[in-house]
A and B are shown apart, each in its own frame.
Chain A
Amino acid sequence: MPSATALLPYVDEFWRDQIVDRHIDRYPFTLTSYPPNSPLSARPDWRQPSGAPAGDLDAIRRQALDPFGSSIAICNVLHGAVALFNEDMAMALCSAVNDWVAKELLDREPRLRASILVPLHNTELAVAEIERVAKDRRFVQVLLFAMNEMLLGRRNYWPIYAAAEKHGLAIGIHAGSTYRHAPMASGWPAHRVEDYIAQSAAFESQLLSFLAEGVFQKFTSLRLVLIESGFTWLPNLLWRTSKGWRGMRPETPWIDRSPAEIVREHVRVTLQPVDAPKGDARTLTQALEHIGSDRMLLFSTDYPHWQFDGDDVLPDGLPADLVKRVLVDNPTETYPRLREGAQIGDNAATQKEAVR
C-alpha cells in the first residue's frame, strides 16, 4: 500500500500542502480492520523484512503470482482514506491511490488489474472518480467495504451502480469497515477476531439490501462480487430469502423471481477464506451442493492475509470439474474486461488479492 508520502505526486498543490503541513503524511492510513501485526493481516512468510505486510511489486510477483501460476490478479488496495469524514480529502486521496496503482503496479506488471477506490460519503464524487478511472481498462471493478454508514443497496448509491454498469465494471464489496456503526447489532465486541467474524454477517446484510432494494432489477447486467467474505453462509441466505419472498413479496413487488435465482445470476464470491472444516472434503462438497451453482466461486489467495498455508489454496472437497471454472471461467465471465488483451492460459489462475 502506498504511504502518504508516496501519494504526494498524485494530489494537487492544495492537498500536498495540507498533507505536509498538517503532518498527515506521517500517518499510515491503515484500516482498523487489519492491524498490521495481527496474524491475519499477513502470513509470516509474506511479511516484508521490515515486518510490514506485503507491499513491493517484487514480493507480489514472487509470492502472490508465480506460485499459483496466475495469469491475472486483481489488486484491492484497502486504503484508509475511505474512513476519513472530509469528503474532499477522501476524494483526493482515493484518486491519488488509483493513480498510484496504475503507475506503480499496473504499468509495471502486465498481469495485474485493479479496483477503483471511491469516497462513498459523496455519491457525486464517487461517480466522477469512476468516470475518470474507467477509461483505464485495467481497472475492472469499483471497491466498496462490507460495513459502512448505510446499506449499499440503498437508492442514494444507485448512481455508482449506473456508472459501474455503463463501464462494464463489477461492484466489489471487500471485507472491512469504516466503523460508522458498531460491527454488531448489539454493539461493539471486545476483540478483533469478533469484528472479523462479524464481517460475514455484514455481507449477508449487504446482499439482502441489494436484493430487497431491487438493484439487480434496475441494473440488469450488474455483477456483484463479495471479496474475502467467506461463502459457506450462502445456502442459509438463499433458502431464507427465497422462502420469505413468497410471503413478503407485495412490499417489494419488483422482485420478480426467487432471490436464490437472482443471487446465482448476479453475485459472485471469492474463494478465500474457506470457512469450512479443514481437510473435510465431504462437508465442503455438501456445502457447495447447497449453494447450487458452479458459477459463483472466484479463485483468490487474499494475499497477503493468512488464510492458508504453503500453496494449499484450493480446499479439499472442491470437485475436480469445478476447479477450472473457479480458476478461469467464472472470473472471466464476471469481469468482461479481463478478456481484453490478456493471455489467459487454460490452467492459469485468475485471482484476487488484497493489498493492505
Chain B
Amino acid sequence: MKRQVVARAGDVPPGECKLVTVAGREIGVFNIGGQYFALANRCPHEGGPLCQGRIGPLVTSDGPGTYRLDRDRELLRCPWHGWEFDIRTGQSWCDPKSTRARQFQVTVEAGEKLVKGPYVAETFPVSVEEEYVVVEV
C-alpha cells in the first residue's frame, strides 16, 4: 500500500470534490462535513468519470407524490447514467450488494508527521498548523 499526500485539507471545501492522480490512477477526494473520502474516478458500471458527477443529498420518499432530502447521506451521481453512489461507502444506492465504486483509505495528517514527497516539495510549505490529506492506494 502506498500512502501519498494529495492535497492540503483546505483545498477541498465541504461538499466538493478534488480530482487527483495517485500512482497513475485518477481519484476523487471528497469533503463531506469535514470528513474525507476518496473514490476511484471510474464508475463500476461502464467506466465513466464518476467523480465529475454531481454531489447531492439522497432523495427518498414516504410514498407516491412525496419527496424528501436526506442530507446525512451524500450521494454521487455518475455523469453518464446517473447511477447513485454513497460517497462514504462507495456502494451503489440501487444495488448495494453487487455494485460498488472503488474506495481508497483517506486520512488527514499533520504536516510534520509526513515524509517529504513530491507534492509537498512542489507547492506547499510544511508547518505544524497545516493539515494534509493523504490517500492510501
Residues of A within 8 A of B (CB): 155, 213-215, 217-218, 245-250, 253-254, 256, 258
> Do B64 and A246 touch across chains, with their CB atoms under 8 A apart?
no
- Which chain B residues border A214 with CB–CB below 8 Å? 63-65
28 contacts between A and B (CB under 8 A): A155-B64, A213-B64, A214-B63, A214-B64, A214-B65, A215-B64, A217-B63, A217-B64, A218-B63, A218-B64, A246-B82, A246-B83, A246-B84, A246-B92, A246-B94, A246-B95, A247-B81, A249-B59, A249-B94, A250-B84, A253-B59, A253-B61, A253-B68, A254-B62, A254-B63, A254-B65, A254-B66, A256-B61
- Report the minimal beta-carbon distance from A115 to chain B, rounded to whole angstroms: 26
Question: Please, which residues of chain A bring their CB within 8 A of the CB of B68?
Answer: 253
Given the complex of chains A and B, what is the CA–CA distance between A217 and B82 in angstroms?
23
Cα distance A256–B94 in the bound complex, in angstroms: 9
With A and B bound together, what is the CA distance between A214 and B61 in angstroms? 11
- Tell yes or no: B60 within 8 A of A by CB: yes
10 further A-B pairs in the complex, CB-CB below 8 A; given A247-B83, A253-B59:
A214-B63, A215-B64, A218-B64, A245-B94, A246-B82, A246-B84, A246-B95, A247-B82, A253-B61, A254-B64
CA distance A253 to B64 in the complex (A): 8
The docked-state distance in angstroms from the alpha carbon of A256 to that of B61 is 8
Instruction: Tell me the bound Cα distance from A253 to B94 in angstroms.
Output: 11
Chain A nearest Cβ from B58, distance in angstroms: 9
Inter-chain CA distance A215–B64, complex, in Å, is 8
Shortest distance from the beta carbon of B62 to any chain A beta carbon, whole Å: 8
Interface centre among B64, B67, B81, B95 (most CB of A within 10 A): B64
The interface residues of chain B lying within 8 Å CB-to-CB of A250 are 59, 84
Name the B residues within 8 Å of A249 (CB-CB). 59, 84, 93-94
How far apart are the CA atoms of A215 and B84 in the complex, in Å? 24
**Bound CA span A250–B94, Å:** 11
A contact residues around B84 at 8 Å (CB): 246, 249-250
For B67, the closest partner residue in chain A by CB is A253
Task: Name which residue of chain B comes closest to A242, CB basis.
Answer: B94
A255, B37: Cα distance in complex, Å: 28
Write the nearest CB–CB distance from A213 to chain B, whole angstroms: 6
Closest Cβ neighbor of A251 among chain B residues? B59
A217 to B62, CA, bound (A): 9
Residue of B whose beta carbon sits closest to that of A212: B64
In the complex, what distance in Å separates the CA atom of A250 from the CA atom of B84? 10
Q: A215 — which chain B residues lie within 8 A by C-beta?
A: 64
